[in-house]
Structure 1
């Protein structure tokens, strides 16, 4: 997936959202089009096969009826008194009158019992047909007969003969009457049937040879090419027609077939698949166009719908950038999300809540990093980091600074006597006394254990010693008190002033602290509860 984003150069949420919305819409449209296409194709195939079968069945019924009517016509002539009496003149008259009303017949002939043509209205009489199958069939079976396609010996044309036996007055076979119908008549009959704009129906004989010619192709050969297409093979086997197949011309077609009732002829109907699907393809094109329009409209609607989401996410992103820059507590304006979806409103509200909590937490963390949690004055870390900056700023301004290192006397005894909880309260009390004694510009910090440091700027050594003495006196007059006890507190203080040159440490603050520590050490060694300055001459407590 990441490779896809990289190839498409899509890195933002906005771009990815638009990409997937577009993919989703395109996929849905393609699936709908494919489903409708496949469904339409199946429906169209079924409709085509059903229509073909119905059309072919109607045509089969028509052909069967036409054959039975023509055969009945010849039987009628064979049953006439003139024919039964073998009266050729009367038969001639009857034949002529018959042809006037039955134009389908090309010739009508009477064949005597020996197979010789005794009467033919349109040709010579010396033709012998005793070797023909149809003559032997009517002679032996004494039933009417329809011949296969044959070449007439009189006309030399392709014909179909309708033959009926003539039974004499003595009940014996006296001959046969044959009515010949040229295949052009069948052509005109079959050309009346059409399936679709370019579909056609045609007749095959039982051997698969085409009897009728294609429409508008009167020069096409007849009874010369045997059809071996799928539909003929299936018709011979009695199977259903295939969904589609290649016809004799190599075109993909749909087809249906039906045998005539005597299974002498095979009626076949074919229509090209291209013609069947042409309207369908036109409809498919319209559907594709409509789908494309829907796709564009849906994409635009999706973009409009997601614009507010993207805008709110942009505000959220901006908020996270502000927090990353250190602007904790940044809030998203509620008016921006007033019309946003409920989920995004909740997300924005949660962001504002978390941002406020983060600001509070960061404030607490910052305070805990520089404030001693017990005494609530600055811790040693703050003193060493910020105190150095404060002292250096004072030095650049030409102002001296002083350090007071303060130690609570006998604090271990307080812990041992009253317990650590009381000891903690004593330290907190000591810190509050220091804060009350110094200026707001002075820095009070807990240096460690029971030791405190006061950094006083713009304060030379003499004033620093005075401040230390005031603190010492204030502690004497302000013992720790609670409901159960009162504990006297004294402090020892070492004082040092900043110098241009350093004797100890890496900066002047460390140098002052070290010198103040040595002064504090002297104060402890000299009895505690006193102030010692960074000076050879000690200052005694009054």
Structure 2
């Protein structure tokens, strides 16, 4: 889980949850929680479809009955008309091919003419024939044809003689295979089937008998005016959605079955549409989210990196240029403010570093700077076999100046000498106030002669300096001690040894009368002192006999 500890990782996680959850939850809601509404909608469609089927079936039967009624009205039986009557039936059948057979019976129920039914066939025992001979038009239950052996429905109507008396009955035989073809052709939804159930539970178009309980449940469905449905499993193990309607005046049941997976196809399509729409939304939004995430992640990552560098001691980190035009205002302000604070912190730290190595009164480097940078210079010269010298200068009788004119006057003298001191050095020299009225110079690539020239220049310039303070004119001199590495090595810390030797030479200059330059020598430490005249033609200043005055 470490990958999610970062801001970028958290953003990725939240984006996945933000887009992934609806992407998956919405289809699941459609599939799990909206299942029943979808089934109810499908059943409503099936009931509407079945109501249409029932109207078509009733209309079909009424049409058959009407044709038979018209046929009965046209029959005039005469002893010599049987052949012409059979021909008449064939003409009617050619116009109405749904009739498998058309026949006529006499008053005793015996066939007198027919297309398939042979004359002499006794049908008087059939209830529909008896009803027709009693003067009623009737549609029979499903019966087995004595001619073809198939289940049929017979539509019978009485016909009369010239006197108006019932002379017999005419019947039209409808093969239920044709009815089933009509039902299947009327299906509005693909899949499933439609079939008829008779009063005795025989499925008129499927060739099987339903149980009493099943018939009762179908009648209950049909009796609710088509507002109900049931889900059941067929003998083949298929879950189907079933609805039912009454037909033929309530004698038949018209049943419609649809496999449940077909019924729920719309639900699956809806879930797929939701999934595709959500996916499209995600694909459209992801680039914007990624871009937005970058406007947050990159600057915050840079802030974290820069703050880490600052915490590690690097107080001069530079902020990268980042195009934050598309970033939120808070992120832009955060990055800008951090960069401003970082720059100011760097300036303050550089100022502190300068203050740490700078003497606040004179502006020269201080003792700490000499200890660090001076040691580096001395070490480099020593390792490279180059000469290096140290000068230790001290203002003569500085305590007398403080006691006579005050400490502010003493500060003015220090500042004035610092200007002279700074101007008398080479660009490569390290000059510093070592403490009190003592000043030190580390002069790389300078042997003893070069160092004495520098020291004498400082002594002469100091002697010529006039400081005016509080209405007083103050003059002073300096004493300088010189020590070099070109002639005298050392053990241990080279800088400390060089400073010690220069300090020893300075004390000699003080002891021998001040206002002079003394050089440290190996052995007893005594070297030449120059009270007003530089060796080998170096310039000198007029002195006061070795004693500086204030």
**TM-score normalised by length of structure 2:** 0.61
- Preserved CA contact (<8 Å) 1:444 1:453: yes
Which residue matches 2:497? 511
1:61 aligns with 2:61: no
| Alpha-carbon distance change, 437 to 70 in structure 1, aligned in 2, over 3 angstroms | closer
* Residues 138-161 of structure 1: CA deviation (Å, up to 9, x unaligned): 899x86543322335677542324
- Preserved CA contact (<8 Å) 1:111 1:176: yes
Unaligned 5+ runs, structure 1 = 6-10, 214-221
Q: CA deviation at 1:445?
A: 0.8
Matches within 5 A, 1:14-413: 55-72=49-66, 99-100=89-90, 101=92, 104=99, 106=101, 108=103, 117-118=109-110, 121=113, 122=117, 124=120, 129=125, 144-152=137-145, 156-162=149-155, 180-190=173-183, 192-195=185-188, 200-205=193-198, 209-213=202-206, 222-224=207-209, 232=218, 235-236=221-222, 238=224, 240=227, 249-250=236-237, 257-260=244-247, 262-269=249-256, 342-343=325-326, 364=351, 367-368=354-355, 370-395=357-382, 396-397=384-385, 399=387, 401-406=389-394, 409-410=397-398
For 1:110 and 1:412, the matched residues in 2 are separated by: 165
| Alpha-carbon distance change, 243 to 419 in structure 1, aligned in 2, over 3 angstroms | farther
Q: Secondary structure at the match of 1:117?
A: coil
For 1:407 and 1:241, the matched residues in 2 are separated by: 119
Task: Count residues with an aligned counterpart.
Answer: 496
For 1:248 and 1:495, the matched residues in 2 are separated by: 122
Q: Secondary structure at the match of 2:362?
A: coil
| Alpha-carbon distance change, 446 to 111 in structure 1, aligned in 2, over 3 angstroms | farther
For 1:412 and 1:125, the matched residues in 2 are separated by: 165
| Alpha-carbon distance change, 441 to 74 in structure 1, aligned in 2, over 3 angstroms | closer
* Residues 84-124 of structure 1: CA deviation (Å, up to 9, x unaligned): xxx99799899758744256263556597xxx735564365
Unaligned 5+ runs, structure 2 = 532-544
* Residues 2-57 of structure 1: CA deviation (Å, up to 9, x unaligned): 4489xxxxx9x9xx99x99x98999699789969x99xx99999997787555544
Which residue matches 1:430? 417
| Alpha-carbon distance change, 99 to 374 in structure 1, aligned in 2, over 3 angstroms | farther
For 1:366 and 1:522, the matched residues in 2 are separated by: 36
Q: CA deviation at 1:447?
A: 1.6
Higher mean C-alpha deviation, range 240-249 or range 386-395: 240-249
Q: CA deviation at 1:182?
A: 3.5
For 1:372 and 1:120, the matched residues in 2 are separated by: 146
| 2:483 corresponds to which of 497, 513, 527 | 497
1:541 aligns with 2:546: yes
* Residues 471-522 of structure 1: CA deviation (Å, up to 9, x unaligned): 445435424435x45463646545141363548xx32321132233345556
Q: Secondary structure at the match of 1:488?
A: strand
- Preserved CA contact (<8 Å) 1:409 1:528: no
- Preserved CA contact (<8 Å) 2:194 2:255: yes
* Residues 174-226 of structure 1: CA deviation (Å, up to 9, x unaligned): 9987654343443454455454676654323356542125xxxxxxxx24466
For 1:424 and 1:51, the matched residues in 2 are separated by: 108
| Alpha-carbon distance change, 341 to 384 in structure 1, aligned in 2, over 3 angstroms | closer
- Preserved CA contact (<8 Å) 2:481 2:507: no
Which residue matches 1:8? none
- Preserved CA contact (<8 Å) 1:144 1:162: yes
| Alpha-carbon distance change, 428 to 157 in structure 1, aligned in 2, over 3 angstroms | same
Q: Secondary structure at the match of 1:378?
A: coil
- Preserved CA contact (<8 Å) 1:74 1:164: yes
For 1:531 and 1:31, the matched residues in 2 are separated by: 93
**TM-score normalised by length of structure 1:** 0.61
Q: Secondary structure at the match of 1:342?
A: coil
- Preserved CA contact (<8 Å) 1:442 1:456: yes
Q: Secondary structure at the match of 2:58?
A: helix
For 1:406 and 1:243, the matched residues in 2 are separated by: 116
Q: CA RMSD in A?
A: 6.7
